Chain A
Amino acid sequence: MEKLTSGQPAAQNPRPKYGGLYNAWVTAREAFWIALEALTTHKLRSFLTLLGVVIATTTLIVVMSVINGMNLYIADHIANLGTNTFILSQFKWAQGSEAWLKARQRNRPIRMEDYKALKEYVHGYKSIGATASGNRVTAKYGSRTLYDISLTGVTPSMIDIGQQKVAYGRYITESDYLHSAPVCFIGQDLVDKFFPNVEPLGKEVRISGGLFRVIGVAERIGTTFGQSQDSFVQIPLTTYQRLFMARPSINVSVQAWSSAQMLPLEDEVRSLMRVRRHLRYNQEDTFGINASETIMSLWQRLTSSIFAVTIGVVAVFMVVGGIVIMNIMLASVTERTHEIGIRKSLGARRRDILTQFVIESAVMAGAGGLIGVILAVLISQIVERLFTSAVPLSGIVVGLILSTAVGLFFGIYPASKAAKLDPIEALRMEG
């Protein structure tokens, strides 16, 4: 057996000391494994302990995902509602309820005469079109029926302005429009239901009692906010007037050549409309001019208030979760007093014990965060089917960091209690 004594003479009361950072890293890593072991040995207890943190993380990420999904939708669709397009309609879209109540009294519908006047007297637009839509309708072909179809009367120019693109066949033409022909341009949902294996062009579909010949099919748009964007029928606006409503309330879409031209063009439309309606300079508009920016600003106000509420809810759950973790850690310190005594008798310093329990608490809460992330991703996938959702990477990162930080913070008090234990007192506690 080798000689094990250190044997070297000690200097005049030298200050004994461990190595620096490396040492801390070794004990921290050790603490990480201890924490994982403690977690996996008491699975149910750990899960219940972590419920608060799990709920908080899940809530945070789900809300972030839904908002992110809607942002993507808006970027994809509303923002592209027609590049450089604004819409003249009876009401301004994004306004407070009070302003809307006043506008309801004051504003009057936009009519075909308005459209014709704008088309003639406004200059410099790239394209101008009008649409009229009423309630949702039922479409029939043979024995098959589709409910809840949106029926819109359009001018031929809407092909340049609207979302739809022609997949095959053709869009509504000037000729269809002039003759108020009984023809229709349909979305893919109608193709799926009525013409799964049949050529749809030339077939006649019954809509609200009238028969319409299919002249074209639109490209598939997909679902957004859980709503299919492909269950529509478009017919010439003149046909719409002839069959359903002689004097409909319409929306006029005006497309500018460039974004710089938007404001001057809006002003021109506004002036013309004010003149047509004989508004004095101190009277407010009796119509609304809406651009995609209007929706964006409404959306931003909405998301910021959703976020404020979410932050409140998440904070409450995190604090509750943190307090539960703190209590479990306090119980754990008491339960493991003897273990702490053993560790101290073998040379663990206060900071080693402190690190061990703080890391244990952080790992526990971090694991809760991880469960929360996984739950949120699953929930988000379900929400995506019904509505819209896209988990942002930042949400996962924030969720994990936040939950771990909560564990760190609420672990400090129990850990410092453990660290302060007297070695011999702790050893006497029989474990």
Chain B
Amino acid sequence: MESQTVASQLRESPAPPDNIIILAQDLWKIYDMGAIKVDALCGLSFSIRRGEYVAIMGPSGSGKSTLMNLIGCLDTPTHGEYWLNGRLVSQLTDDELAYIRNKEIGFVFQTFNLLPRATALHNVELPLIYNGTPPAERLARAEEALRMVDLGDRIHHKPNELSGGQRQRVAIARALVNHPSIILADEPTGNLDSTTGEEIMALFDSLHQSGNTIVLVTHEHDIAAHAHRVIHIRDGRVDRDEPLE
């Protein structure tokens, strides 16, 4: 299997080859709750190549979100190595992680995570604000990203003036606006009805066709069917890793 070959390569040469955008090597995440310790991830290894469209599936509580948060540099593993785009993430400082989250990763959440009082435009501008993009360019790029998700006519609406599907499209525009190396989505259709979910998936499909690397978590087979590869997770371990079609 591919992930194993890469893992064995690693022992000789520390940095993974250029086409490997994500390399997880024996990742552990242990939540220390004082009296009990929860092993959310137990030595998980896999790799993802540039341009892949991967779905992560597994039952509830299997560690999918925990894994996504690690990949998205929102959280750090208890043990193990994680390489993102040629960088060993565990060696990075807080500020450097912030930079990675800003520039390399576009994260789409199940609950959208938009700022409720800000307009769609401002929500999409946020990542650009944090890397100091000048206002004029910021505005142009945010508008462009919103047009790309078909919300060009809704830019001044606040989240509570938008439908669930529209909110998720704002979140996707926000994830795209910095041209990240990888787009991560944790159950992006989980809060949407199936028709709207299909619209969102069509958007992900077209993003993949234009060259983006996409990793999405889902527990629905219909959704996973859009991807070209499915990693099944169970009890914090890779259960099966198979290509689709």
Contacts and interface: CB of A to CB of B under 8 A. Distances in A.
Interface of A: 1-7, 9-19, 22-27, 30, 37, 41, 338-339, 341-352, 423-424, 427, 431
B15 A13 contact: yes
Interface string B179-210: 11100000000000000000000000011011
Interface in B128-153: 129-135, 148
Given A1-B148, A26-B134, A423-B74, 17 more contacts: A4-B180, A6-B104, A6-B179, A13-B86, A16-B99, A16-B100, A18-B95, A19-B131, A26-B135, A30-B129, A342-B115, A345-B101, A345-B107, A346-B126, A346-B130, A347-B101, A349-B99
B117 A345 contact: no
Interface of B: 15, 18, 50-51, 69, 72, 74-75, 85-88, 91-92, 94-96, 98-104, 107, 109, 113-117, 126-127, 129-135, 148, 174, 176, 178-181, 206-207, 209-213
23 contacts: A1-B148, A3-B210, A3-B211, A4-B179, A4-B207, A5-B50, A5-B181, A5-B212, A6-B180, A7-B181, A10-B87, A13-B88, A17-B95, A23-B132, A26-B132, A26-B133, A27-B129, A343-B126, A344-B98, A347-B127, A350-B95, A423-B74, A424-B75
Nearest to A11: B86
B87 A16 contact: yes
A345 B113 contact: yes
Given A5-B50, A5-B212, A424-B69, A19 B132 contact: yes
Contacts, number: 136
Contacts of B102: 18, 346-347
Given A18-B132, A37-B117, A348-B130, A4 B86 contact: no
A431 B100 CA distance: 25
Nearest to B144: A2
Contact of A4 (B100, B132, B134, B176): B176
Nearest to B101: A347
Contact of A346 (B92, B101, B117): B101
Contacts of B115: 339, 342
Nearest to B129: A30
Contacts of A338: 113
A26 B137 CA distance: 13
Contacts of A37: 117
Contacts of B104: 6
A53 B151 CA distance: 44
Contacts of B86: 9-13
B74 A427 contact: yes
Contacts of B107: 345
Contacts of A341: 113
Nearest to B125: A30
Contacts of B85: 6, 10
B126 to A, nearest CB: 5
Nearest to B179: A4
A17 B133 CA distance: 14
A154 B181 CA distance: 97
In the A-B complex, list the 6 residue pairs whose CB atoms are closest, starting with the nearest: A347-B102, A10-B86, A23-B132, A1-B210, A3-B211, A16-B99
Contact of A15 (B96, B129, B206): B96
A10 B113 CA distance: 30
Contacts of B116: 431
A333 to B, nearest CB: 15
Contacts of B148: 1
